[in-house]
Amino acid sequence: MAETIGTVRTGLFIGGVQRDTVDVLEVADPAKAGQVVGYAAAATTADVADAVAAAKAAFPAWSAMSAVERAAIMAEAIAGIADERDADAAVLSRENGKVRFEGWIDSLVFEIRWNLALMLAGEVDTGKTLPVVPGIPVSTEVTYQALGVVSVIVPFNWPIAILGAALPHALLAGNTAIVKPPPSAPLATTRVVQRIAEKLPAGVLNIVTGLDQNMAGLIDSPDIAKVCFTGSVNGGKRIMEMASKSLTRLTLELGGNDAAIFLEDAILDDTHLDRLYAAIFDTTGQICMNAKRVYVHSSRLDELVQGLTARLEKVQLGYGLDADTTMGPLHSPVQKAFVDEIIQDAKDSGAEVREFGQLPTGDLAGGNFVRPALVINPDPMLRVVTLEQFGPVIPIIPFTTEADAVASANDTWAGLGGSVWTASPESASRVGSQLACGYVWVNDHGATRLDLRAPFGGMKQSGFGREQGIEGIRAFQDTRAIATIDAAALAAQAH
């Protein structure tokens, strides 16, 4: 068995009770080949069915409360969540590979999103009245109702923060929930969610971890009202196919191939270059809303490349818990192999490829490390341009006209986000309004500047549905119309 250091163990949490399992998931350290971070419970199909049943049993009482009443309980449940944040961040760094600070922010964003959702409690139950009008002798009350049991499935890269974009909104809307953390990095998420679930009524919030092959009941069970999934495009397609059998509702937040467009008047000072660097290389490039393609006016190409080069020359590849590390490994050997392959493709094509940093040695020599790279003026048909790299490599492509930049940015399967970099608010509005995506930044890009109050989601194969804000809550509700005949209006109509 692989060497185990500082072992972390987590169980399932079903119906208000922690449950251990015979089988477990072995969680590997992506930086240190052969080392294990810990073990997570591996649910059976029966465990999954129990979680669905527990959530279903808890739904009537939870949904019968007002949103304000639910918000008060949820506020008590989140209280003190930061007390173990340092430990949670260390666990997440070890199982995910990201630097410790990002692990800390991961949990912080969850808390912020939770509390922002609670601030909407007064709007959740607010409906409207359609009054009697000539020819329609009824008054209709349009209200909102919860859906039932919701499954929330999150990925490895920012699992806790991403959970915060959906879970509190689902609960506040009156649904009960089952959370499925990623099988390759389930430990920190389970720790955080269980501490909250223990403070909620039994069955309102449940946690199952395990192999995907045993999780079908979270999607195709007739008792599941909705699935909220964040992950790959192919994963979303599989879930959509499974959910179609029971017409289960979906929110899908899938991959991205975000374009960042630098117009001729873009500001390229240290502040803006720092923003761009973070937008590309945070989490070693493994964020769906990271910039994946940079289009820059040809007159500014050299300046932008030089700015990124100066920052990449300082990169320190290493272990996420080490203080001097600025970039950790990729999460899996499969992803490392893919990123290595598309970088080699670019080299073989004759594109200029600049690589930076030194691969770690010693006990990190077998980790999933990739030297970050710039691919300058590549053929637009190369995979480094057309596919989501999900790694520390970025194509930088010059353009001459604004129309060409917009056309190139939109010429993709994805439609998650995009950005416009310019000194002109008018240009930002003009170009941003032409981008076929769900979210547009101006003079910034990515998770660092995401407005956590605003609806977020993709177009095209980046998915559908919206998270965050009141729109995110409505995504976990349906309308109910109650029409009452107005006798006087009916009589008047008869005459």
Length of the chain counted residue by residue = 495
- Write down the mean pLDDT value for the chain: 97
Q: Does 429 share its domain with 297? A: yes
Q: Does 240 share its domain with 141? A: yes
pLDDT tens, position by position, 188-235: 999 999 999 999 999 999 999 999 999 999 999 999 999 999 999 999
Q: Does 266 share its domain with 195? A: no
Q: Does 160 share its domain with 224? A: yes
Q: Is residue 193 within 8 Å of 171, Cβ to Cβ?
A: no
Q: Does 219 share its domain with 329? A: no
Q: Does 165 share its domain with 304? A: no
Q: Is residue 62 within 8 Å of 174, Cβ to Cβ?
A: yes
pLDDT tens, position by position, 259-317: 999 999 999 999 999 999 999 999 999 999 999 999 999 999 999 999 999 999 999 99
Q: Does 432 share its domain with 284? A: yes
3-state SS class at 264: coil
Q: Does 370 share its domain with 234? A: no
For 103, the domain range is 3-254+462-480
Q: What is the dihedral of CA 486, 489, 494, 495, to 10 degrees?
A: 160
**Residue 275 phi/psi, 5° resolution?**
-60, -45
Q: Does 48 share its domain with 80? A: yes
CATH number for 73: 3.40.605.10
For residue 486, being part of any structural domain is answered with: no
What b-and-e string marks burial along 135-167, b requiring 16 or more CB atoms within 10 Å of the CB? Answer: eebebeeeebebbbbbbbbbbbbbbbbbbbbbb
For residue 134, being part of any structural domain is answered with: yes
Model pTM above 0.85: yes
Q: Which residue's entry shows tokens 């009202």?
A: 225
Q: What distance in Å separates the CA atoms of residue 253 and residue 165, rounded to the nearest whole number? A: 11
Catalytic residue check, 253: yes
| DSSP 8-state assignment for residue 212 | G
Q: Does 10 share its domain with 140? A: yes
pLDDT tens, position by position, 45-66: 999 999 999 999 999 999 999 9
Number of helices (H), then strands (E), belonging to the chain: the values are: 18, 23
Q: What distance in Å separates the CA atoms of residue 42 and residue 365, rounded to the nearest whole number? A: 30
For residue 492, being part of any structural domain is answered with: no
Element (H, E) at 108: helix 100-118
| DSSP 8-state assignment for residue 288 | T
For residue 485, being part of any structural domain is answered with: no
For residue 493, being part of any structural domain is answered with: no
Marked catalytic residue, from 95, 102, 111, 253: 253
pLDDT at 431 over 50: yes
CATH number for 368: 3.40.309.10
| Pairing between β-strand 291-297 and β-strand 393-399 as defined by DSSP bridges | parallel
**Both tokens assigned to 82:** 């930061």
Q: Does 362 share its domain with 302? A: yes
For residue 151, being part of any structural domain is answered with: yes
Q: Is residue 450 within 8 Å of 279, Cβ to Cβ?
A: no
Q: Is residue 153 within 8 Å of 180, Cβ to Cβ?
A: yes
For residue 49, being part of any structural domain is answered with: yes
pLDDT tens, position by position, 55-110: 999 999 999 999 999 999 999 999 999 999 999 999 999 999 999 999 999 999 99
Q: Does 307 share its domain with 358? A: yes
In the chain, what is the straight-line distance between the N-terminal and C-terminal CA atoms, in Å? 87
Q: What is the dihedral of CA 204, 208, 212, 216, to 10 degrees?
A: -40
For residue 473, being part of any structural domain is answered with: yes
- What pLDDT is recorded for position 372? 98
Domain count, the chain: 2
Sequence-ordered list of residues with C-beta below 8 angstroms from that of 235, at least 6 positions apart, any chain: 229, 254
**Residue 149 phi/psi, 5° resolution?**
-90, 130
**Both tokens assigned to 45:** 């199909």
